[in-house]
Amino acid sequence: MFKVRYIDLSGKSYQEAWDFQTGVHSEMIQRKRMGQRNEVHSLILCEHSPVYTLGKSGKESHLLLSRQECEARGIEYHAINRGGDITYHGPGQITGYPIFDLDEVYTDVHRYVRELEESIIRTLAHYGIKGCRMEGYTGVWIAAEDESRRNRKICAIGVHLSRWVTLHGFALNVNTDLSYFENIIPCGITDEDKTVTSMQKELGFELDMEQVKKVFRKEMQGVFGFEPMA
């Protein structure tokens, strides 16, 4: 069983959170280079101010605003080294960055992504929302109930690994203002039968962000089997 410390960086800008997580990531890699074990891992949760992030396999054309328009609307923009395309982070969304040394857990990136998805699926189930995986796509979805509805992405996942130490993570829409997604092609997905959603939209009421974080931490602990640090 590995140990995980919990860090909440809500209220920090995307750049501040990025600098923090890359610092933790670099420290873990440096310990490995020195032949030391990483006995303590980190789970960082954030609630960012509005920002669009573009993954290394994404297209800038999927941002439907100019950089000047983003700046005028108070939206940051960052091209980063995670997998995937463009997405949005902002208030009402839980963005999670697990910094795990998978050499101490299991060296299987596909299993790691599946277990991130499972942690989200179980969190949604706690609130009566049936999340699922969709073949050919990462993240967590809500399947269309009938032909009049669309498949709805509720959580995006994009990760990066260096020497088996994880970086980046997931973005779960809780009370997210979904209008920000209208300015991008979310995750580069243009299928007419797919869109984005939030827990608030599915349930019809606003949720307590701190409570959702607590539920997620408990569910992630159950899936990954780590020991939380006090």
Q: Smallest Cα–Cα separation from 99: which of 14, 157, 162?
A: 162
Q: What would the two tokens of residue 135 be?
A: 């073949």
Q: What would the two tokens of residue 162 be?
A: 């260096």
Sign of CA dihedral 163, 165, 167, 169: positive
Catalytic, 187? Answer: yes
Rounded CA separation 128/150 (Å)? 19
Q: Write the DSSP string, 17-41.
A: HHHHHHHHHHHHHHHHHTT----EE
Angle ∠(67,44,141) on CA atoms, nearest 5: 70
Q: Per the residue annotation, which of 46, 70, 155, 187 is the catalytic one?
A: 187
Rounded CA separation 196/153 (Å)? 5
Q: Which amino acid is at 188?
A: G
* Catalytic sites, residue numbers: 187
